[in-house]
Amino acid sequence: MRVHVAFTPAEAAAAPIGIVVDVVRASSTIAQALAAGWPRVLCCAEIDDARAVRAELGEGLLGGERDAVRVEGFDLGASPRDFVEPRDEPLILSTTNGTRAILAAAGACDEVVVGSLLNLGAVAAWARERGGDVTIVCAGYKGAFAFDDAYCAGRIAAELDGTPTDAAVAAQILAEALPDPLDGLNARTYGPPGLEEDIAFCARESVLDVAPRYTGRVGPAAEIKR
């Protein structure tokens, strides 16, 4: 198994398996929602796409953010702490970085799963069972490198125990330098203040036994199920 890390979605290389990471917060939120019992998450790049998907389906709750602020008129934001209770309708999600990265990975990789620290063990086990080459796609921040995503990618790469590319080696070295995951996520320098409780929530390791998978498109949305 060859393991590569793409530090931004633009760097995503074609591979049999793609693991998308937006650890603060979209990939953590998706994992939490599906683990809690939400039936599916429909990931949209644009706010208008999310509204159009709900109009077409006639159901679903709109969730998402721009620059960590809940989108005006949406039912929910993008905090994983808002998704600990089950719901029987889909979550239609649009975020600044993560949902775009999922759509990008779906165009480059044969199979795509959503990874975070919350479901680190489950995602790594799923990828090891598949046995194919892996590209870990970091959502980054507005097209640029994001420390927290690179940190999480390094933790996943180490769990896969494959043959790393130079980028994967770099991510693993970064992760090894900060063995406490909360320190790893707090090392980020981008984004607004006020996310301390969400960051602490997202820093918990392997507490969810779910490997959310891309199952296809629903209009402009990428459908993710457990």
CATH label of the domain that carries residue 65: 3.90.1560.10
The pLDDT value recorded for residue 192 is 72
Is the per-residue pLDDT at 152 higher than 80?
yes
* pLDDT number for residue 94: 98
Q: Which of 224, 221, 220, 183 is nearest to 30 (CA)?
A: 224
β-pairing, 61-66 with 41-44? unpaired
The residue behind tokens 């709900």 is: 54
| pTM: predicted TM-score of the whole model, two decimal places | 0.97
pLDDT at position 29: 98
pLDDT for residue 78 is more than 80: yes
Give me the pLDDT at residue 193, please. Answer: 78
What mean pLDDT is reported for the chain? 96
In the chain, the number of structural domains is 1
* Domain region containing 50: 2-225
Largest Cα–Cα distance in the chain? 48
Give mean pLDDT, residues 97-111. Answer: 97
Does pLDDT of 122 surpass 80?
A: yes
pLDDT digits (tens, 9 = 90+) for 18-49: 999 999 999 999 999 999 999 999 999 999 99
Report the pLDDT value the prediction gives residue 190, as an integer from 0 to 100.
77
pLDDT tens for 183-224 read 999 998 877 778 999 999 999 999 999 999 999 999 999 999
Long-range Cβ pairs for the range 65-68 (8 Å, 24+): 65/95, 65/96, 66/95, 66/96, 67/96, 67/191, 67/192, 68/96, 68/191, 68/192, 68/194, 68/195
Rounded to an integer, the average pLDDT of 61-84 is 97
Average pLDDT, integer, range 62-69: 95
**Cα-trace Rg, the chain:** 16
